[in-house]
Structure 1
Amino acid sequence: MSKYSEELRATAKAMVAKGKGILAMDESNGTCNKRFQKLGIPATEEYRQMYRTLILTTPNLADYVSGPILYDETIRQTTPEGVSLLAVIKEAGMIPGIKVDTGAKELAGHTDEKVTEGLDDLRDRLAEYYKMGARFAKWRAVITIGNNIPSKGCIEANAHSLARYAALCQECGLVPIVEPEVLIDGDHTLQKCWDVTDATLHEVFKQLHAQSVAYDQMILKPSMVIAGKDCPQQTSVEDVAEATISCLLKNVPATVAGIAFLSGGQSMQQSSAHLNEMNKRFGDQCPWPVTFSYARAIQQPALDHWSGHKANIAEAQSRLLKRAQCNSAASRGEYSAEMEKELAIA
């Protein structure tokens, strides 16, 4: 048992407090730069600093977001005025988190499959992040559905790494977000996605148990059970909600502190509608809070509008807040298409 158990339990609970979700703003500098380049924004540290400050200083964001997941550069940054971004987060009443994996790399002996790396020196990095003020961490594993994949070896390798990471987090005082993402890319059916998600979650919790990870001191960040983007038979909101919740109820222990979904390539409206349907129809059956941990599904309208111009900051923040409001409503089963119209930008 971790000496931080009580603190971890309280943090995990606060991360999935009613009506709140987690903001994933942990894209690497390379990914952030690519998004900037598409919009003609200079791909420099100065502009990344401005963008991250824009997000974190959005008025009232803490009403809908419990905390942001940061990248290593971000956790060390200040606002353009010199105020630490960590101080901004805490002052707003949010909990700082940090991405700690070093990315998905080719899995040896397994064509078209990846394993996430970053366990080397992780204990030392976690101790530093805790000292800086971070209170939760994130590690993402990717599972691809394709011709004869995922393999048993790929699922096992990723589940084992997730479990080792989660155990180290709890030892160091950080709540682990365990993120096994079954990718939406491909032409697989809803049923195929269900089968792969089922096998993945089963192995993840087997490995978490083997590494003595405390379920009430962790958050699961799964992908939704959904047909592949190229599947000719696309699934209804109702089918996605039903398939996803049935898979979670089968595999996720009731003591897990919360579920915070990734949006994983869905449109902003889709990810809100799916989350809403799950809470509306199955909220009473779920032993854990079911909420969001979205990135682009919250940030994209703000990034598009800002486009690197200081004069656009206030309106960009307004757009960010509106997406956070929509997803907060969805986490309570109170979202509707009408909300999109009411919050529509003229």
Structure 2
Amino acid sequence: GARFAKWRNVLQLDPESKLPSDLAIADTVHTLALYASICQSEKIVPIVEPEIVPNGKHDINYCAAVTEKVLKAQFAALEEHHIYLPGCLLKPNMVKNGIDGPRADHDTVAKLTVETLLKTVPKALPGIFFLSGETALDEDNEEVATINLSTMNKNFKGQMPWHLSFSYGKALQKTCIATWLGKTENNEVAQKALKARAHANYDAVMGTYVAGTCASIGTDGNVKQAAGPY
């Protein structure tokens, strides 16, 4: 089977401090490009993850502008390092508002995310696998991530040259973990919860997920390091 690796570099947003700086962006994208080059030299598929974390009060438009800037720089760096794009995958953030900023709806997140990707990601790249990203503690991060992905694939069906899918952590596992609690007697119900959310995200890849049809522990499962900023 395929062998792959993943490297994640994080960038912070802060309009007042003009973050991320050009130096931070350059360091991020060239580090990831060097990693990708090493991977491909060893016949390993690199998953490139330049993550812009949503901590802060900025609006979604600032995130869109910075994400576009970062992704343009990222693919320029990959080209400089002679990365074979059909043998590479991207794991980006969705374009979203800051956790404490004015909240954008799912259609706006989908629109700005896909438009940003269409401006920056070459057609040769076969797949984009989103990280779920952080949400405010009064939002259900599992459901939000699933709905956002489904909205993209529904609203932009046939308009994207690459496969749009998910590589979620917290937004795939929260209900499972909160149900399991490390107790053997909870194994079966926790496994069912994980399978249900995985299938919900499969539906999201098809653009057919119906909001609320996958059981979630909701905001009751939101704790620090599980759904909030880190």
TM-score, normalised to structure 1, is 0.59
Q: Aligned match of 1:304 in 175, 178, 193?
A: 178
Unmatched 5+ stretches in structure 2:
136-140, 218-230
Q: Is the 8 A contact 2:172 2:194 kept in 1?
A: yes
Q: Which residue of 1 aligns with 2:10?
A: 142
Residue number in structure 2 paired with 1:317:
191
Superposed CA RMSD in Å reads 1.3
Larger Rg: 1
Describe the shift of the 1:268–1:214 C-alpha distance in structure 2 as closer, same or farther (beyond 3 A): same
Q: After superposition, what is the alpha-carbon deviation per residue over 1:37-93, rounded to whole angstroms, capped at 9, x for unaligned?
A: xxxxxxxxxxxxxxxxxxxxxxxxxxxxxxxxxxxxxxxxxxxxxxxxxxxxxxxxx
Q: Which runs of 5+ in 1 are unaligned?
A: 1-6, 12-134
Corresponding residue number in structure 2 for 1:197: 67
| Pair 1:235 & 2:115 matched | no
Q: Is the CA contact (8 Å cut-off) linking 2:175 and 2:216 kept in structure 1?
A: no
CA apart distance, 1:344: 6.2
1:22-171 aligned at under 5 Å gives the runs 135-146=3-14, 147-171=17-41
Q: Deviations over 1:280-327 (max 9, x none)?
A: 011311000000000011111111111111111111101111110111
What's the secondary structure of 2:213's corresponding residue? helix
In 1, Cα distance between equivalents of 2:199 and 2:32: 31
Aligned to 2:138: none
| Cross-structure match for 2:129 | 260
Number of aligned residues: 210
1:156 maps to a residue whose letter is A
**Aligned equivalent of 1:339:** 213
Within 1, Cα distance between the matches of 2:7 and 2:186?
A: 33
Partners of 1:214 and 1:327 lie apart in 2 by 28
Q: How far apart, CA to CA, are the structure 2 residues paired with 1:338 and 1:157? A: 41
Contact between 2:142 and 2:216, CA under 8 Å: does it hold in 1? no
SS in 2 for 1:337: coil
Change (3 A) 1:165 1:344: closer
Partners of 1:283 and 1:209 in 2: CA distance = 28
Using the alignment, how far apart are the partners of 2:59 and 2:105 within structure 1? 12
Give, as a single letter, the amino acid of the residue that structure 2 aligns with 1:148: K
Identical pairs, percent = 38
C-alpha distance in structure 1 between counterparts of 2:152 and 2:216, whole Å: 24
Match of 1:70 in 2: none
CA distance in 2, matches of 1:163, 1:185: 25
Amino acid at match of 2:115: S
Q: Matches of 2:6 and 2:157 in 1, distance apart?
A: 25
Question: 2: distance between equivalents of 1:248 and 1:218?
Answer: 16
Map 1:219-230 → 2, pairs under 5 A: 219-230=89-100
Alpha-carbon deviations, 1:225-244, whole Å to 9, x = none? 0110111x210100000000
Q: Which residue of 1 aligns with 2:78?
A: 208
Partner SS for 2:6:
strand
1:185 alignment counterpart:
55
TM-score by length of 2: 0.89
Partner of 1:244: 113
Aligned residue for 1:140, secondary structure, equals: strand
Query: Which of 160, 163, 172 is the matching residue for 2:42?
Result: 172
Deviations 1:146-197 (A, max 9, x none): 1221100000001000000001111111110000111111011111001110
